[in-house]
Every structure is written in structure tokens, then in C-alpha cells.
Structure 1
């Protein structure tokens, strides 16, 4: 079968393949009435880093939780976070580096990193990483030097096994919206970022999550068929190294709510997604008491963003990926 015919057949096959039902991660512990996004796990799957913030997302902090059996521990602020606008953690595939974005100044005493866009002034972001030290502790954050940090509007890093860093950003060649870039690891640091050719740059594309082997990439955006303001899409890499056409992930991954910050998990087909989907209320509802109303409004499904786990193994298998 010719390559283009194979790719078309696989794309059509995706339409009929559904992703598995979602699981709310750690209700009341990880997923709460606050905003939680950007899940990333250690290679053994037992330590979770994620971001928690207020509804306005002006106060972002990176937290860490540990799993024992099926239960997650009460999250604590990560040792390298808690003072600045830190967000969107992403562990390298080997678990030895944790990348994140922050508005912290490059040098002590410098002014906070700020940017302006559309007449609005807000905290800027550069890419940093913390390295795991002997005994499991994390070292002091290190700024990632190079052209990838130009512009101070960089979000959601994701790291391949070869060290290539994928991220979304607003840069000179992004158009009016955000696009996805890759900064390739070289012997002399990181090469200048290149924008992924995923189609019309009039479409907003954010939050890439790359397969460690770079066989596929998931991201949040709207390619014209989104069910909500943003949905999760998947794009596969062709045999010649080019990225194919984005495909709207089928099944329960997407909803009429906002979905973003997809991250590839540690097990085959595992996908973590942030969503603000709510519990459906049917009227007339059972008559609330003040206590029952307060309990529901303070629960995870109150419209805040939570972390969900999905299984997209069937989608990957339909494209010839089986591990």
C-alpha cells in the first residue's frame, strides 16, 4: 500500500475508534474546587506533579502528590515552587528533569517578567527546569538559555526522549494566536525553535503533549470542529518525519466544556487532560438544603478545571502504534 493511501485509511479508521471513558483523578485530593491542570508523573507512575490555581489563574503554584496503592497523598508545594507564578510542569521521560514555566526574574533582584498583548499586561513566562538530586530531592531551578525563551510567552513544555522540547508560544511568526513549536536538542544546546506545520495559523494551538518517541502529539485547540471552546486533537508523524493532519480525538475525551493541557501518561494509551466539565443538574432537582448546596458548589465538578485520565490505546492501535 502506498504511504498516502495508508495514512488516509488510518485517518478514516480513527473516526470509528473511541477513547475510553474518563476517570476523575483523586477527587477531593488532586481534583478539587480549585483549578488543576498539567499532570505529569514520574516513570513509576507513583509521584504526580501538577498545577493548582485560583479561578482567574493569577496565582499558579506547582504541587506534588504521592500514590500509595489507589490513594494519593495530600498535595504539597513542590520544593522549587511557591514564590513565583509557576505553572505547567513536565517531567522528562527519564524523570530526571522537571521543566516548567515561570515569571521569576532571571537574576536575583531583577524585575518580574511581564509582557503585553492586546493592550493587556500580564506575567510573562520563560522555561526553567529543576534537576533531580541524590536522595530524590530537587535542585534549584535553572533557566533554559537560547532562542526558545525569546518573547516571554511560552507555555506547556513537553519533552521527547531525545531531549527535544515541544511547547506552545506566541512568537513573531505565530500570527495573532498561539502555535506549537519544537526546539531540538543539539550538542551545543537548543536550536532555534521551529513552528510545527499543522495547517492554518489562524487556528489557536496550545499545550502540546508529545509521545517520547515523537510518533504522535496531542494538543488543545479548535480546528473548526471543536465541541467546546477548546478540544483535544491528535496528530501523527509520517514516515518522512512530517506531521499529518490534526484529528479530533473521538470518544469521551472531548465535551462541550473546555479541555486543555493534555499529557501522555506512563502507560500505553494513558492520557491526562484538564477539563472544566460539570456534573449535570436536572430540574426539578431534589430540594437542596444549605448544606447540600454548599457541598455540591465546593465539589470538584463545580465548573473548575480538574484532571481526568483517559485511555486512547485503541486510537493509537488504529494507527499502527501498539506500545
Structure 2
């Protein structure tokens, strides 16, 4: 099967090979996988989570498209991958080299790529565009850029002590990005934020003294006064002595996705990184803490 022609920045990928990766009978959400409960499971092993480093999953609201970044362990190169329901099954194709960590906007019309983005067109995705001077600053290092339905942006910055920043819309005007509260911007390697579609919570990863041995996932719930609540470690149901990063909640609100990979000491023992999923009840169990 031959796919579309994609353009990614200056890269032109013609006649992209599109592989059918599930049977014709499997055109349901989540690749027809058995849903997890309160114990995280590897997501779609052999299909999405492979021998490669599969990272940063994101879905469209109809759950018929998914995107990840994948580092080929044989070549060391990163790619932006698309999975899509077509002809009664899920297909896989390569859009092009990875640019930033992909995450879709809530309406699925924009794909954020760090300090760049693409917009959906009738032919596929547009060329890669810059977020502009407010965000695409040379002194900021944005890896992940997440947005809510109301237009709130949250993003990380590895060039300035690994901090998270937020920018909101006020009467239709974009406010200057501000540092998030110190209790969120604490610890080491703070990065990869995800803001809920309704803006009610924020998830990110960081290494803190009270953690489980390496980077853990943390959550903060928005309070009634608009302030962000305490940074809550997501606990042993999610975090381990390995690295947990890149949290993302599915558009239907049912599942938390994240990456789990070995620490530097563990590398070579198991795959570099896999995508896991778990029921979002693990989030609500933390809300009253």
C-alpha cells in the first residue's frame, strides 16, 4: 500500500510506505487492546511499543489517529510516526524526521513540536512552522508544548535550569509566559508537561528527593482560587525505580499514557523505553491528597 506525500520542513517524503499493522477486523480505538485497570501495562506491544524507543503518544479526539516519536535502535535516528484507521484496520507510516516531541492540540488541528508546530490541511500536515518570537527564543529550550481547550499553553525549558512555564489567554490576548510556582519547578530534570483539556490539572516529570529513585510523574490540581495545588508524586501505582516521563491523558479522559524506561545503570538490560497505559482512576485517587 502506498501512502500520501508528506512534507516536513525541508524534508520531502514521497510514496511513503504504509503498512497494515492490525487485522482488517481491528479498527476500534486503542488498537483493540484489552484496557488496563490500576496496574500500568505496556501499550500495544509489538505494534506501538516495539524494540525501538517509542515515545510521546498522542491521539485525535475520535481516537482514529495516533502519533509517536520513535528512535530506531539500529540507526539511532528519530522519526515521527503516524498510526491511522484505514481500510478496516490500523496502518503505520512515517511522516518524517522528528521535530520536537509531538503532541496534538485538543481539537486535533495542530501538532505541537517543541517550539514549532504543524497544522492539518486537506492533504495531511502543513510544513513545519515557528511558534514566533514569544516562544521560539534561542535562549529557551522547549521539548514539549501542551495546550488546553481554552488556549492555555504549558511548556518546559531545558536551557534554564529545567523549568516549566505557562501562558494563558486573557480576553483573547496572549499573556506573556510566566514561570510556574516554585513547588512545581523544584527538583531536577523537570520537563514534559501535560495540561488537561479543561485546564484542571497538570502532569509533568521530575527527579526529587522524595521520589522512587529516578524521574517520577507528578500531578497538580487547579484549586478554586486558580492556584496550582501541591506537587503530588503519583505513587507506586505509576512510579518505579526506573524513569517515568512524558505523561499524556487520552482525549476521552479514560487512560493515562506515559513512558517507562531504564535508568543509566539499567541500559542494555531491557528496551530503552516503552509506552505504558493505566486507568485514570489513579489520578482521581490522588485528588484529595
TM-score grouping bracket, smaller chain normalisation = 0.7 to 0.9
Which protein has the bigger helix share?
A: 1
- 2:87 paired with 1:87: no
TM-score by length of 2: 0.75
Q: Pick 1 or 2: higher relative contact order, CA cutoff 8 A, min separation 6.
A: 1
Unaligned runs of 5+ in 1: 1-18, 102-126, 279-296
Distance in 2 between residues matched to 1:185 and 1:140, nearest whole Å: 26
Shift of 1:302: 2.3
How far the C-alpha of 1:28 sits from its partner, in A, is: 1.5
Q: Which of the numbers 147, 151, 155 marks the counterpart of 1:167?
A: 155
The answer to whether the aligner puts 1:147 opposite 2:137 as a matched pair is no
* Structure in which a larger fraction of residues adopt strand: 2
Question: Take 1:20 and 1:70, find their aligned partners in 2: how far apart are those partners?
Answer: 30
Aligned with 2:135: secondary structure? helix
Deviations 1:161-190 (A, max 9, x none): 01221111035xx4xx20111122467874
Structure 1 residues 140 and 244 mapped into 2: Cα distance closer, same or farther (>3 Å)? same
Distance 1:183 1:55, change over 3 A: farther
Distance change >3 Å, CA 186–CA 149, structure 1 → 2: farther
- Shift in CA distance, 48/200, structure 1 to aligned 2, threshold 3 Å: closer
Match for residue 254 of structure 1?
239
Q: Secondary structure at the match of 2:284?
A: helix
Alignment check: 8 A CA contact 2:194 2:204 kept: yes
Q: 1:307 aligns with which of 266, 275, 289?
A: 275
The residue number in structure 2 matching 1:36 is 54
Q: In structure 1, which of residues 207, 211, 223 is the aligned counterpart of residue 196 of structure 2?
A: 211
Number of equivalences: 246
1:121-160 equivalences in 2 (<5 Å): 127-134=115-122, 137-150=124-137, 151-160=139-148
The 1-side partners of 2:136 and 2:217 are apart by 25
Which deviates further from its counterpart, 232-241 or 139-148?
Answer: 139-148
Say whether the 8 Å CA contact 1:129–1:142 is kept in structure 2.
yes
Asked whether the equivalents of residues 100 and 129 of structure 1 are also in contact (C-alpha less than 8 Å), the reply is yes
1:187–1:42 Cα change, 3 Å: same
The SS at the match of 1:315 is: helix
**Do the aligned partners of 2:116 and 2:136 also contact (CA within 8 Å) in 1?**
no
Query: Is the 2:164–2:185 Cα contact (8 Å) retained in structure 1?
Result: no
Is 1:197 matched up with 2:215? no
Question: Is residue 77 from structure 1 mapped to residue 87 from structure 2 by the alignment?
Answer: no
Distance in 1 of aligned mates of 2:210 and 2:74: 27
**TM-score scaled to structure 1, two decimals?**
0.68
Bigger shift: 47-56 or 209-218? Answer: 47-56
Corresponding residue of 2:10: none
Are 1:244 and 2:229 counterparts? yes
Shift of 1:147: 2.2
CA deviation vs aligned residue, 1:286-310 (integer Å, no higher than 9, x gap): xxxxxxxxxxx8xxx9231111111
Gap regions ≥5 residues in structure 2: 1-36
**Structure 2 Cα separation of the partners of residues 201 and 318 of structure 1:** 20
Query: Does residue 274 of the first structure (1) align with residue 259 of the second (2)?
Result: yes
CA distance in structure 2 between the aligned counterparts of 1:100 and 1:219, rounded to whole angstroms: 17
Deviates more, 1:205-214 or 1:306-315: 306-315
Name the counterpart of 1:109. Answer: none
- Is 1:316 aligned to 2:284, yes or no? yes
Work out whether residues 21 and 251 of structure 1, in 8 Å CA contact, stay in contact via their aligned partners in 2.
no
Name the SS for the 1:273 alignment partner.
strand
- In structure 2, the residue matched to 1:232 is 217
